[in-house]
Structure 1
Amino acid sequence: MTEQSERTRQIERVAVIGAGYMGGGIAQVLALAGLHVTIADAEPSLTQRHLDRLCREAEDFEARGLFDPGSAERVRANLHPADSLSQAVAEADLVEEAVLEQPEVKGPVLASIEAAARPDAIIGSNTSTIPIGDLSTNLTRPARFLGVHFSNPAPFIPGVELIAHAGTDESVVASVEALVARTGKLAARVNDKAGFVLNRLQYVLLKEAMNLVEEGVATAEDVDTVVRTTFGYRLPFFGPFAIADMAGLDVYQAGFRTLEEHYGERLAAPAVLTELVEGGQYGVKQGGGFVIPAGDQAALIGYRDTAYARLGQLLRELGPAPLGALSVDPRPVPSTHVATERDTP
């Protein structure tokens, strides 16, 4: 047996508790990967309605070319409703909790999951911001607990944050990491700090965008235009560290100097950036940077230019987003349940 196989366990049966928008999307992803997926919500009739909705959605996605041919049949074959939480989790290798983003709701649900699940079952939470260590206090076996944070909409967003708390067993993280790879998504291991990576960055961006509107610098519409057509245009292909490496870390240091003069210490150059620049590391052009070594930029620039041009072609093909013509879903899901997480960032 290899070291990798000793550290990881194949996950074949998954239960998703909370089958609303996020939980349902996660269940679709896992079903498409060929896993046996059981869903449960507040009551059996609601669980069945969610199952019917998820199957209809899969058919619609396939008809529109968003899912591969045969996907709807695969989802229908692999998704199963349960009459109760305890029934859903009884045989699961992994249980993914996807209920309301409130500790007072998640805590009792997690305790109920652990009480009904196998002792060796892995328990994951799809929390967007709550520290995993805080949630782990609801469990008697916290070593098998971690954050498994999908993004909205789960079937189409490729990144998944894996968040271990201080007591999470490494084999648990490795097993879920292998599962995420099996779904075709990309996992990033993240340390346990409130908001993790995704929402610390997203919330800071939104807060500063609101500050700009409050200060009268630009309207909300113009801020959105700037974000999506400038630095946001790069983000599908390059993260902030790669973008900085390509632009020049010395350039960023100078920019931070200007921002600090006007906005104070909160926008001063971070020490990690200053240390690189003072050590002669300016990014791709000299010395290497955060994630890209120095060297010939021809291949990188060629990829960049092709990527941006192709994105432009796609946006022209799609046309502008219909922000002024939002319609109501003709098949709303009843909102009488208390345990479903509707929209997480």
Structure 2
Amino acid sequence: MTHTIAIVGSGYMGGGIAQVLALAGNHVYLSDVSLDVTEKNYQRLIDESKDFVAAGLFPEGSTEILKTNLHVAATVEEAVANADFIEEAVPEVLAIKHDILARISGAARADAIIGSNTSTISIGDMATAVTNPERFLGVHFSNPSPFIPGVEVIPHAGTAADVVDRARAIVHSTGKQTAVVKDVTGFVLNRLQYALFHEATQLVEEGVATPDDIDTLVRTTFGFRLPIFGPFAIADMAGLDVYNFCYKSLQTGFPERFATPKILSDLVDAGKLGTKSGAGFLDVPAERTADLIAYRNKAYVAMQKLIDDLGPAPLH
């Protein structure tokens, strides 16, 4: 189904989101602080798409699709006037968000869904500037938005359930995947990302390892698994009793930092040890373990082949 979509904020993130939605067949209207800025960003997106096609990152014909489906609007109000879905992607400042969301609300249809690409600001705090706030939610694409497949969807307490469903359907039509999370500080993506970064900086400050060595370990050990499996699937396959024991070991040096999560100890106490018992965080049936391990091994070999084919990242 084709939609009319407005992107308010045509910079790096907003422009990438516009490319994604336009390539999926939607009519996308770009707007920014001025017509001149929008026109320059439009041309950048067209030129960039040519480079992406040449590099094999976009399919052949993508530039022509963008020229057909991507449009420049003179103002925010013009961009949103007939939109089914509006994505706000302006700077991460609450006052700026409030101002632009009020303008969007004043010019958009009453039934238009309004999403924000914020990665840090409370959706509920932003919703106070939106008329009919039940149609407002967070729709958080990750950088670089044309190539990262996951999108964080964050309803606030008053977001209507059908709005969440409709927003997800629009995102899914681009080939991306969504996860719905609660409106809490940091949401999910950044809480996890910054928890890892915080521990990594502690290791550097303590002189345990260099940034380069830590990056190497993350890339080549547990991080190597993460494109295929999330932390709960990995834990279930490893064995929750093993995780429980490892927490106790970590507590000998860091009793508070690595306190055993109650949700983990409760599962272990109940005999739910992951895939080997047929119950854990994901409750994968024990009879599927052999197929799961075969898939895991095939995936890891394919991942290494991909990395070998790409060669090392140009960091040094």
TM-score, normalising length from structure 1?
Answer: 0.89
Q: Does 1:156 align with 2:147?
A: yes
1:11 to partner: Cα distance: 6.4
Return the alpha-carbon distance in structure 2 between the equivalents of residues 107 and 323 of structure 1: 39
Corresponding position of 1:82: 73
2: CA distance between counterparts of 1:268 and 1:293?
29
* Equivalent of 1:306 in 295, 298, 310: 298
Distance in 2 between residues matched to 1:151 and 1:172, nearest whole Å: 21
Once the two structures are TM-superposed, the CA of residue 287 in structure 1 deviates from its matched residue by 3.6
User: Where does residue 227 of structure 1 map in the other structure?
Assistant: 218
Count residues with an aligned counterpart: 315
1:249 aligns with 2:245: no
- 1:96 maps to what in 2? 87
Give, in whole Å, the separation in 2 of the partners of 1:227 and 1:85: 43
1:280/1:287 contact within 8 Å kept? no
The 8 Å contact of residues 283 and 293 in structure 1, kept in 2 or not, is answered as no
Structure 2 match to 1:320: 312
* Local SS of the residue matching 1:100: coil
Match for residue 340 of structure 1? none
Distance 2:2 2:130 in 1: 21
**Distance of aligned partners of 1:191 and 1:28 in 2 relative to their CA distance in 1, 3 Å threshold:** same
- Tell whether 2:32 aligns with 1:46: no
Look up the equivalent residue of 1:65 and give its one-letter code.
G
Task: Establish whether residue 191 from structure 1 lines up as the match of residue 179 from structure 2.
Answer: no
Counterpart CA distance in 2 for 1:222 and 1:115 is 52
Moved more, 208-217 or 293-302: 293-302
Shift of 1:110: 1.0
Alignment-mate amino acid for residue 13 of structure 2: M
Structure 1 ranges of 4+ moved more than 4 A: none
Superposed counterparts of 1:1-345, under 5 Å: 12-291=3-282, 292-324=284-316
SS in 1 for 2:142: coil
User: What stretches of structure 2 of length at least 5 have no aligned partner?
Assistant: none
CA distance in 2 between counterparts of 1:257 and 1:316 reads 37
Question: 2: CA distance between counterparts of 1:215 and 1:102?
Answer: 34
Counterparts in 2 of 1:105 and 1:129: CA distance versus 1, 3 Å: same
Provide the rounded CA distance (Å) in 2 between the counterparts of 1:100 and 1:79: 22
Give the direction of change, closer, same or farther, for the CA distance of 1:151–1:102 in structure 2 (3 Å limit).
same
Q: In 2, are the aligned partners of 1:39 and 1:82 still within 8 Å (CA)?
A: yes
Q: Distance in 2 between matches of 1:217 and 1:240?
A: 24
Report the 3-state secondary structure (helix = DSSP H, G, I; strand = E; otherwise coil) of the residue aligned with 1:80.
strand
Q: Using structure 2 for the length normalisation, give the TM-score.
A: 0.97
Give SS of 1:51's match. helix
Q: Residues of 1 paired with 2:285 and 2:245: CA distance?
A: 21
Deviation of 1:259 (Å): 1.4
CA distance in 1, matches of 2:165, 2:103: 25
Contact 2:106 2:131 in 1 (8 A): no
Q: CA deviation at 1:293?
A: 3.0
- The residue matched to 2:159 in structure 1 has which SS? coil
RCO (CA 8 Å, sep 6+): is it higher in 1 or 2? 1
